[in-house]
Amino acid sequence: MKVLKFGGTSVGTPQRMQEVAQLITANQEQKIVVLSAMSGTTNTLVEISDYLYKKNPEGANTIINLLEQKYMKHVEELYESEQWKERTRQFLHEEFDYLRSFTKVHVTSFEEKVILAQGEIISTNMMTNYLLEHGIKTLLLNALDIVRTDKNAEPDFNYIKERISTAIKENPGYGIYITQGFICRNAYGEIDNLLRGGSDYTACLLGAALQAEEIQIWTDIDGMHNNDPRIVDHTEPVRQLHFEEAAELAYFGAKILHPTCIQPAKFAGVPVRLLNTMDPTAPGTIIDNNFQDGKIKAVAAKDGITCIQIQSSRMLLAYGFLRKVFEIFELHKTSIDMVCTSEVGVSVTVDNANHLEDILDELKKYGTVMVDSDMVIVCVVGDLGSDNIGFETLACEALKQIPVRMISYGGSNHNISFLVKAEDKKRTLQALSNTLFGTN
């Protein structure tokens, strides 16, 4: 069994959907196909929710109607027979009437999540109908019956494992099972999601739960590049990554992967392959348990970081000081990414500033507190074990013209991180590419 996930661009037009259908029917292997919403749809659904939050049902209605027209055009292009066109039109009318029903009610974050879920519900139904039209035995599994999060909003892995295994056992004989990425139910049974880009996470959770042979993430680029191709010139695909390296890159901003999606695959030891729907024969990137000695693999950047420094000459060396500091973050459910300590202070970074004011108020009891917002963590990933001498020098050398606020090295053998100002992000990434990968 393999799990194949196709992202928004990969199913972004009727033609792309047809190409995906060709890819998934190219062999007889049993597979689970996880689909995102067609590209742009989730953003449009966010826009609709925003209008409804702002009590502007007319604005929301206009966008819903435009989106419906777009989908009705897709129907004409995607299907051949009037029977499947009509069946899909009927389904879409019901879907869009459902979306319109939210313009008549008070919208909270609960309704918003229901609205956001419709993109994946639509794309999976359209793809299933297309395969059925072509006589391919396909079963649509409802992710809302399979994927659930627990009270900490973390995937409930045992539940997922039990539900996906049961769903397949109870419905044998299918070569292709289609399901929605991104969407799930929470611990209270309400419709929820695994956060933006969450279809990768669904695929990895299902692949790990089924102990699949491989998880394939099909997207619009030939695998993980050695730097962000949207920002840096002349990036190149990395052919192989260790699970730990991929996990660091995803967590520290490589958009090709959802930040935490590698964890379940890593624990289950299921390899993840990143592939390009636009160029299906390109080798892409394999993520597995192999570690290549002495290689720096890639650079990634995570935006929206806040740095908090607590200075306290009196308290720092006293035992228990760091615990007190960390407990304040824990109390406010705010996780810390980077930590640096000195004799007189400690600096930490967070990517969630929602509870910043409360956190600062409590930290002030322990010393002088300073905050730098709008920072970026730039993370260099590869073999950075202490045997591999010289790489940190090279990385620091690359940044000799750039003001660096914090450096973190030694937390793992795979990562050195630099905290810089957002305005310096582009030149930091380019400088690292030039020096580490010789791309200037």
Cα–Cα distance measured from residue 363 to residue 312, given in angstroms and rounded to the nearest whole number:
11
Query: Which partner in Mg ion, ligand ASP, ligand ADP, none is near 10 (CB below 5 to 8 A by kind)?
Result: ligand ADP
Among 2, 7, 131, 261, binds ligand ASP (CB under 6 A): 7
The interaxial angle of helices 109-133 and 57-78, nearest 10 deg, is: 10
Q: Are 177 and 203 in contact (CB under 8 A)?
A: no
Query: Which partner in Mg ion, ligand ASP, ligand ADP, none is near 391 (CB below 5 to 8 A by kind)?
Result: none
197/237 with CB nearer Mg ion: 197
Among 17, 37, 126, 305, binds ligand ASP (CB under 6 A): 37
- What residues numbered 31-90 form the site for ligand ADP, per CB under 6 A? 36
Q: How far is the CB of 260 from ligand ASP (least distance, A)?
A: 13
What are the residues facing 191 on neighbouring strands? 185
DSSP per-residue letters across 320-335? THHHHHHHHHHHTT--
DSSP code for 221: S
197/367 with CB nearer Mg ion: 197
Query: Which partner in ligand ADP, Mg ion, ligand ASP, none is near 228 (CB below 5 to 8 A by kind)?
Result: ligand ADP
Among 182, 251, 252, 391, binds ligand ASP (CB under 6 A): 182
Q: Are 214 and 273 in contact (CB under 8 A)?
A: yes
Q: Pick from 332, 378, 376: which is nearest to 356 by CA?
A: 332
Record the tokens describing residue 397, joined without a space.
Answer: 């050398």
Interface stretch with ligand ASP, choices 195-203, 269-277, 287-295, 411-419 (CB under 6 A)? 195-203
- What residues numbered 168-227 form the site for ligand ADP, per CB under 6 A? 197, 219-221, 224-225
Region of residue 374 (left: phi > 0; alpha: psi -120 to 50; beta: else): left
- What residues numbered 187-216 form the site for Mg ion, per CB under 5 A? 197
Record the tokens describing residue 239, joined without a space.
Answer: 């052919």
Among 2, 3, 7, 266, binds ligand ADP (CB under 6 A): 7
Is position 277 an interface residue for ligand ASP (rule: CB under 6 A)?
A: no
Is position 181 an interface residue for ligand ASP (rule: CB under 6 A)?
A: yes
**DSSP 3-state assignment of 438?**
coil
Angle at 227 between CA 39 and CA 197, to 5 degrees: 30
Which chain residues interact with ligand ASP by CB under 6 A? 7-8, 36-37, 42, 119, 181-182, 196-199
